Chain A
Amino acid sequence: MLTILFDGIAYGMLLFVLACGLAVTLGLMNFVNLAHGAFAMAGGYVTAVLMNRYGVPFLATLPLAFIVPAIVGLLLERTLYRPLYGRSHLDQVLFSIGLVFMAVAAVDYAMGSQQQLIQLPAWLQGRVDVLGIQVGLYRSFIIVICGVLVVALQLILSRTRFGSRLRAAVDDPRVARGLGINVSMIFATTFAVGSGLAGLGGALGAEILGLDPTFPLKFMIYFLIVVTVGGTSSITGPFLASLILGIADVAGKYYVPSLGAFVIYTLMIVVLILRPQGLFARAR
């Protein structure tokens, strides 16, 4: 029971790291980016390729799994995404679906359609017994890393000048621009960091979530659930939403395997009907 809770928390934390970039994209620029999963996949493949082909140790690949998607994200944001900010949601959806299709086919072409397996270092494998609970070492590692990231993000958002600018821009881009905040700059930076975090999440999750070319499509709905259910006005909303989603998903798959997916989708629809702005969003 507690093991399931623990696994669920690890899963939820992972989902949060994967999805928090999307929360900012949606909240800040009101851009429906369905291609967010592609950045996560990029990070996962960076790690897989580095480890399997060049023998780089797992930990050393993680920074690269952050940097490469971040740079790709920055380039794409500056070139392709930016012209679409003012456009209709339909355009944005079509554009990002197009990107997803391209990413899926390109990775399939370059890497093959099979699952990418990564070999975790020995000190991260196995489980230990803590107070009678079976605790997976790798999952504890994920919880620690993601926990640190969450705290760091929260501190950056609430304590730094950049964070207050970002919050101002999310609340009201027009006024923020009027106050001399360079919203476009802030957005480019956040987009890059969000893509990088997604990449890091993809690398960390390669072991748990699996990694194959259809990754962006498979997990798109999860990212979107985190963001829509959590709301885009704070970082705690998506965080709580991803914890709930992670625990519900793991518990659902464990206790009622035949109903696992129903629970998630039904919950999502119900939440969105009752609270269209998200569970934790302030009413506007």
Chain B
Amino acid sequence: MNFSIYDFTSFTKWIDNALNSSMSPGWAILVELVIIGIVFIAFYAVIGLYLVLAERKVCALIQNRLGPNRVGPIGMFQTIADLIKLLMKELIEIKHADKFLFNLAPFIVIIASFMAIAALPFAKGLHAIDLNIGIFYLFAVSSLGVIGILLSGWSSNSKYSLIGAIRSGAQVVSYELSVGLALLSVVIFSGTMQLSGIVESQANGWWIIKGHIPAIISFLIFLVASTAETNRGPFDLAEAESELTAGFHTEYSGIKFAFFFLAEYMNMFIVAAIAATVFLGGWMPFHIQGWEGMNNVMDYIPPFIWFFGKTIFVILVMMWFKWTFPRLRIDQLLTLEWKYLLPINLMNIVLIAFIVLMGWYIK
């Protein structure tokens, strides 16, 4: 396999060496952190804003209408205008609210999604940190966000917010299991928790193809469970617009509301990126063993296009079922997890372990 044309390892090494040669190692790390921070903030803002626009366009497509089309060509700058509006809005102070926690909650939500981006491999050598327990880290970090949601619901001093937050808590605690087990199936297949290792293991075919039916089951369970974990429709019980007005963020206004809003879309991006990385090969091009000509052509498509293409595909699927399904009820939601997804998932894990033991998958 020839990935050298798009190998970013030498590029990042070169930056690292240049910084280390010009200053002491401590300062070099500090400068690197600042660079990565700035890059990620910019990335976060752009992705967040354009996912909002994408969602509005996709839902407009599903609903027989045009969607935003006034600000800029095909409404390109609509979300930027919305952001400016939100920035200028008054931050309403709630009486008898726990001010400290009320102000802290949006930051916890947004920081949790920030931390998850750090581990995502966008291309070969293009990730902020390549932990050897990458999946475990993503799994841990992505569940931090619910603390922010619980805090926001509790500190708002509003009954609607509280109900939304408690629902969200129950939901995330339940679906975390399915997300973890679904990811575990690929860990069993590839034998590593390191995200770059998982991507490398898919050089001769993505796990969803190599792992046969058990991998497809895992992928579907991951898709359902991660939608539930990000509080998106049809599992948006924490917001439940028709029941709880806006659920946990009812009392938030202005930029604090925007933080929740952006974090929701970033979380969607993150789970889609995880699904793309773990099941669909991440930045790895589409390869079929033996077809060298096609494989070489595929190699010429840059890896970040593969990565974003797959991520966008998963995002589109998630948007599609958000805009066509009605919302589940809380007890049906928990029934789905504990009575259906979890047992299926556990059996699936046993099956995968057996398949790996017998070597019945495409190596």
Asked if A and B bind, the verdict is no
Interfacial residues, chain A to chain B (CB-CB below 8 A): none
